Structure 1
Amino acid sequence: MTIQTARLSDPAVRAFVSAVNAHDRDRFLALLAPDATMADDGSDRELTDWIDREIFSSHGHLEVDRESQGGRALLARYSNDTWGEMRTRWSFTVGDDGRISRFETGQA
């Protein structure tokens, strides 16, 4: 059963999912700390290149099935025009300022 984005527990993660699904790159980038980092399937990636390729140019979309760790870990169905749909896990590190300093994703 899908969790509605508005019902996600963590405000930063809720805003992240909302920005991805709205294809709003500017709003997405505003959620990140200036030195934010990310990893995909255990390997660090260059954040801007990755989000442009995997989210914004390929119409990425997240459907969250489960959350844990206070809303900072998600199990979701992720789809984009490149890869179709896959089960993914996401985890987030959120700073004291409420901005995401790191996110990690990969196949679940």
Structure 2
Amino acid sequence: MALPQCLPTENCFIRMKKDNPITVNERIDLACKTGVDYVYKVKVVATEETPSHDNYIMSILTVIKMGTDENPGGSNRTFVSHKQCRDALSLQKGQDYLVWGLASDLWVTGSR
């Protein structure tokens, strides 16, 4: 199983301004960029906060772009983020999100 991760860059600390939301077309353009390995529509089903990082357990609702992760549709994956990114991400349990990433961002684990 693979776990996407959020790297602690300056982008973790920048929140999107509500008065300038990203458009659907901009999301599509970003998700379809060269190098993007996977694109999923997910629902956050649980969160686990630790002193160093947060785990967001997400149910994959729709596979928009299949990556190297085997059979992700309908299963849960854990998104790992540094605790410093918590406020910037502002992910909420029960909400749907569009997530995408690179194969190099995935950690292969045996249990989750």
TM norm. shorter chain > 0.5: no
Select the structure of larger CA radius of gyration.
2
Higher RCO (CA < 8 A, seq sep 6+): 2
TM-score (norm. length: structure 1): 0.32
Structure with a larger share of its residues in helix: 1
